[in-house]
Amino acid sequence: MRFKIPRFTFIGFVLSLLVLSTGVSAELRTFEGKSDGLNNHTGKGKWTIVMLWASDCHVCNQEADEYVQFHKKHKDTDAQILGVSLDGKARYKEAKTFLSKHKINFPSLIGEPEEVATLFQELTGEDWRGTPTFLVYSPKGELLAQQVGAVPTDLIEQFMAANK
């Protein structure tokens, strides 16, 4: 199943022009500077919803609180959110402000925009289009869905229930 609610941001447009060829994996880091990756958070018996975001993304800012509530509701049972910021080193401060402003309660990583866009291409075979973008991993770690644009959390819950 694929959700279809396309929305673009300026950074997404710029990234689509900057995307590197496949074969380069993103170097993701925690906000404390430790190396990390998606595979450290997926396939652990829970659904993992990866939210690719940027601090200057209007939709990301508008929808962040909904994903905070989703994570709070599901983290101890069946699902978790993992945030991945495309702000990179150049916009680290802005990304930290985003986390603080929205009281983000889920793990979040940060990567360079071009590398995260390339990782998306490697994982999905699709062109990068912008933020927010969501990847939905099954409890076994299988990538089952992807969507560019906001995805209501009730739709994510329906998807999870239909794919148990």
Task: State pLDDT tens for residues 8-60.
Answer: 444 443 333 333 333 346 789 999 999 999 999 999 999 999 999 999 999 99
Alpha carbons 82 and 44: distance in angstroms, whole number: 13
Q: What are the pLDDT digits (tens) for 95-149? A: 999 999 999 999 999 999 999 999 999 999 999 999 999 999 999 999 999 999 9
Domain map (residue ranges) of the chain: 10-19+41-162
Tell me the CATH number for domain 10-19+41-162. Answer: 3.40.30.10
CA distance 95 to 31: 9
The amino acid sitting at 76 is D
Contact 153, 134 (CB under 8 A): no
pTM of the model: 0.84
